[in-house]
Amino acid sequence: MRTLTVPTETEDDFFFMANLPPAFTGLPFMVWISARGFARHDVRVKVSKGPKVKPGDFVTVSVRPAVEVLAGDMSPGDLRLLTEWIDLNRDALVRFWDGDIESTPEVLAVLRPLS
Residue 54 lies in a domain: yes
Residue type, 92: A
Residue 80 lies in a domain: yes
Among 77, 81, 47, residue whose Cα is nearest residue 62? 47
Q: What is the DSSP letter of 2?
A: -
Residue 24 lies in a domain: yes
Greatest Cα pair distance, the chain, in angstroms, is 38
Residue 90's Cβ-side half-sphere holds a number of Cα atoms within 13 Å equal to 13
Contact criterion met (CB below 8 Å) for 60 and 6: yes
Average pLDDT of adjacent 10-residue blocks, the chain of 115 residues? 48 65 96 89 93 87 96 96 98 96 94 94
Range of the domain at 64: 11-110
Residue type, 85: W
Number of domains in the chain: 1
Residue 2 lies in a domain: no
pLDDT at position 51: 86
pLDDT at position 12: 40
> pTM for this one?
0.84
